[in-house]
Structure 1
Amino acid sequence: MDFDDDAELDSSQVDDRRGMSRGGLAVGGGAVGVVGLLIALFFGIDMTGGGDGGSPAGPAASGSQDVRGDCRSGADADARTDCRVVGVVNSVQEYWTSEFKAENRRYETAKTVLFTSRTQSACGTADSDVGPFYCPGDKEVYLDVGFFRELTSRFGAKGGPFAQAYVVAHEYGHHVQDLLGTMDKVGDDRRGADSASVKLELQADCYAGVWARHADSTPDEKTGRPLLDKVTPADIDDALDAAAAVGDDRIQQGSQGRVDPDTWTHGSSAERKRWFTTGYRSGKPASCSTFG
């Protein structure tokens, strides 16, 4: 996955809170908690996101740096993890803006909040232990970029830039569901292999695949050129590997030595891969019919 070096990034779509005071709150550990990963929609938010592996955050994790000043071009997105997040957020929202327009709908832009360890959201405290999530209360995505490293080291995903992109695209899939009213279908049906919660997560995986299909062909509104130069088969493999790494069955087998489908909230590794592939192959949101 490569960005157009001359592409202009819109950092206003990302709220960088890294290094900000956390108001005396205790700072949690950087590791992704297994219990947190198994929670889904318990408080009305997605606690685990798509999950992915990725390259270490490197210089992007420093609180002394800010995407508003440092992430300006596609070259920056290729060089730094946090700038890559900005670029993917821009690309994903360019696609959904155009898709909504084609359906005579208005897409509402959502910000991604970058934080370190802990911050506040309308859905409660955003903590690194629960991984990336979308909060419908403020319509924002929350992400500690250290999550990419944890998914690689603890959950065995191969990682890579497009695995990181998959995480972001999955969370924006939840934003799309929020705008379309799909989240209302979940209600109290939040656990089990055939639950509405699982269907919601698999649909977000499918929406991520739809974006991936169009990622290197959706033109930037300002330049008329796509932000991404090319998405390769290797990129898609990295996304599929990331999706499989956070399947409920794989997480349960690794954390407790057994699999209990009655407690699933996100779907199996095979299902997550299948629905991402469905979206990618069709390139059409209508194909993401996880609710039937």
Structure 2
Amino acid sequence: MHLVYNRKKFFGFTTPMLFFYIVFMFLPIGVAVYYSLTNYRGAGGYDFVGMANYSRLVGDKLFWLSLGNTLKITITTLVILIPLSFLLAWVLKEEKRGNNIFKTIFFTSYCVGGIIVGLVWTFILDPSKGLVNNFLRSVGMEALALDWIGGRTLTPYMVGIITTWSGLGFCILLWTNGIKQIPGEVLEASIVDGANKWQQVRMVTLPLLKETFKMIFVMQFTGALKVFESVYSLTGGGPNHLSETMVSYMYNTTFGSRLFSYGMAISVAEFVLAITVSLLFMYFTRKEVTD
């Protein structure tokens, strides 16, 4: 019997993937770090300025505003999306025709591009012409017709809800796949031991889905940090930068204000935030398992 695996085949399959990963992932990160240490403006020469761009970040009110908005979007997304997607996956876990139809409906939103998502939800949430406020005014509830987007407060939370809607189907798919991997004997044993449905979910299913939870958390956390298209379609970061996220602020700084090196510093700061939180989360959850 011949072994399928050998060193030549391994490197033959992995080298192209590794090449593209380095070119499109690690190389751009290195370029961003490099230019963030200069005063480059997108054209012409430049000088090295060390940590000057990062020092500027510390005193930049718009940076901290965009960071706050990004964290609000991220927390809103995680708090709603993870439990809701698990609940729906648990309800739809049986292989039934009706369940498959609902799974398809939920997954459809994941296939819609970010710009289209923003345009659709602008039509729904626009304070002056949106469906929600027009409906509230038509039924005499004008006091509830709020500035869902473009105001001073609600925009980040609405973007978090939109992000939840967009990613719901994909998370349901991941939870469903995890649930299917649980041995039926384990669930049957819990029933024999007298566990009710809630106890079965809390004490058997969720602990066995810890790896699935970790994967969903990291993917949705990093995804929420990178929200751009929907924000750009909804508000463009306005009014007066009140709804800026880190990505939209980086985009406007780099391509609008032509502060190329400062925009790279913003992108590096976001990258460091994403890596730090993800690694801390993985460390503490791994430590919890080993303990």
The TM tier, using the shorter chain, reads: under 0.3
Q: Give the structure with the higher percent strand.
A: 1
Q: Give the structure with the higher percent helix.
A: 2
Larger relative contact order (Cα-Cα within 8 Å, sequence gap ≥ 6): 2
Task: State TM-score, norm by structure 1.
Answer: 0.23
Task: State TM-score, norm by structure 2.
Answer: 0.23
